[in-house]
Structure 1
Amino acid sequence: MQMSPTIAVHLTAAIGATLVGPMALWARQGRAQRPRLHRAFGYAWVTLMVVTAVSALFIRDFKLPNIGGYTPIHLLVPAAFAGMFGAFWFLAQGNIKRHRRYMLITYVSASVVAGGFTLLPNRYLGSLLWGSLGLV
């Protein structure tokens, strides 16, 4: 597999979401809450996650264990959409505690855990990273 425009879009959006997510979470922590900043970073994070999830559907790998080119990491696509939908559902219901929990879980699972899986040596990004360091 090589860098394609789809992978470049996916990678850019995923890195952006990973960096923007903590800012959205931070803006509502502690005594000095920043609702405008939280909302701006939150919408940016959701937009980046939608781009990441949709672009992931167009990235297929037939070398790893797969079904039609879709590997187990693709199961995070519906999970990410379900998490974001649930978070907005609870927000609309006025249940801020559940909204916060859903967003935190979605951020950790869709950005941190999925990002960790992409750094495995048998994945494209992992082989680039570990190969450039001379470790693979």
Structure 2
Amino acid sequence: MSLEPLLNASPAIQIHAFGALLAFGIGIGILFGPKGTVPHRFMGWLWVLIMTAVAISAFWVQELRIIGPFSPIHLLSILTLAGLPKLVLAARRHDVRAHRRMVYILFFGALVVAGAFTFLPGRIMSAVVTGG
């Protein structure tokens, strides 16, 4: 394992990758921690801000150019940016069911599933893990 491929990448990729890793870690803490507490709300707001930065920074990550400078994965960034306000609004309305659903969709869709694709051969995170 070597961080060198990531540290040699563009600033947009570094912001995107380190932000996603941070959001993943905070998200795990939120998912398994007590709900409705002050720390839960604080960490939730922090998670939303980091996920916003991750989604926005994705538009400058253009290694897979399929549609102009973009790829279908960029649609996930648009969906994330649309979903984050819904997640916050559901929490503010105390709609626990809708809030939980949006959290799971964004956490697993935008971080776990999308993150898994970054470990495919030829991608930077694959090189980080394999040291190649």
Identity %: 33
**TM-score, length-scaled by structure 2:** 0.84
CA distance in 2, matches of 1:26, 1:128: 28
Q: Give the aligned partner of residue 20 of structure 2.
A: 14
User: Residue 27 of structure 1 contacts residue 35 of structure 1 at CA under 8 Å; is this kept in 2?
Assistant: no
Q: 1:124, CA displacement in angstroms?
A: 2.7
Q: Secondary structure at the match of 1:47?
A: helix
Matches within 5 A, 1:1-136: 3-28=9-34, 33=35, 35-61=37-63, 64=64, 66-130=66-130, 132=131
Q: How well do the aligned residues superpose, as a CA RMSD in angstroms?
A: 2.0
Q: Which deviates more from structure 2 when the two are superposed, residues 100-109 or residues 83-92?
A: 83-92
Aligned length: 126
CA distance in 2, matches of 1:8, 1:81: 19
Cα offsets for 1:77-127 (capped at 9, x unmatched): 011122212212222333111111111211111111111011111323224
Q: 1:65, CA displacement in angstroms?
A: 5.3
Q: Which deviates more from structure 2 when the two are superposed, residues 15-24 or residues 116-125?
A: 116-125
CA distance in 1, matches of 2:79, 2:111: 12
Q: 1:47, CA displacement in angstroms?
A: 1.2
| Residue type at the aligned position of 1:68 | G
Structure 2, unaligned runs of 5 or more: none
| Residue type at the aligned position of 1:118 | T
Larger radius of gyration: 1
Q: Secondary structure at the match of 1:67?
A: coil
The higher-RCO structure (CA 8 Å, 6+ apart) is 2
**TM-score, length-scaled by structure 1:** 0.81
| Residue type at the aligned position of 1:72 | P
Q: 1:34, CA displacement in angstroms?
A: 5.9
